[in-house]
Every structure is written in structure tokens, then in C-alpha cells.
Amino acid sequence: MVSEVIEDMLKRMQSHPGVIGTVIINKEGQVIKSTLDNTTSLQYATMAMRVCDSSLGALRDIDPTNDLTFLRLRTKKHEIMIAPDKEFVMVTIRASTDGA
């Protein structure tokens, strides 16, 4: 059931224009499913966990009852979207766009 949900998420994400890859990781930072190669998936999993942890920490320093629901990083080379959920974190890498 869970794997069906994940497969469905992956398929939906990959159909979006400009999407380079999607990595789904569990709360321990392990890659569960990915459309990218192992090395790249692991790199993005590590990156996402680091960004999520520090953002959540910084956020809760201001308000301990707050929670992170979505994170979007626009970089010079591409856009990285991180969606933390109860059990999984979905990381999507998309080709950079010039719009706001």
C-alpha cells in the first residue's frame, strides 16, 4: 500500500515539466525510491536531511510549536523542492526557471 502511494507520487512528479529527478527518503535519511542513480540520490538525500534539520531547528528557536511543511530552494543551476511528511521526505529536482 505504502509502496503504491510512493510509486504514484514518483510518477506524478516525473510528469511535471522540467523535473530532473525525484528521491523519496525515510525519516532516517535512507533512500526508499528514486528516479536518479544511487550516488546522486544519496547526495540529495543527505542534502535534504541537512537542510530540513537546520531549517526546522531555526524555526523552532523562534516558535517551538511551528512545523516545516515545504521547502523550496532556487539555485543557480536548478530548483530543489523538499516536502517533509510524516513518514517520508520527497525531494524533487527541477531545471531552473527564470520566473519568480
Nearest approach, Cβ of 67 to its own copies (angstroms)?
Answer: 4
**Nearer of residues 3 and 15 to its own copies, judged by Cβ:** 15
Cβ at position 35, least distance to its own copies in Å: 17
CA distance 14 to 20: 8
Q: Verify binding: residue 95, its own copies, rule CB under 8 A.
A: no
Rounded Cα gap, residues 42 and 49, in angstroms: 11
The type of residue at 59 is L
Which one of 4-12, 19-27, 29-37, 60-68 is the stretch in contact with its own copies (CB under 8 A)?
60-68
Least gap, CB of 100 to its own copies (angstroms): 8
Tell how far CA 95 is from the center of its chain: 15
Bridge pairing between strands 78-84 and 88-95? antiparallel
Q: Which of 15, 63, 64, 86 binds its own copies (CB under 8 A)?
A: 63
Half-sphere exposure of 79 (CA within 13 A, CB side): 14
Q: Where do contacts with its own copies occur on this chain (CB under 8 A)?
A: 43-44, 46-47, 50-51, 54-55, 57-59, 61-63, 65-77, 80
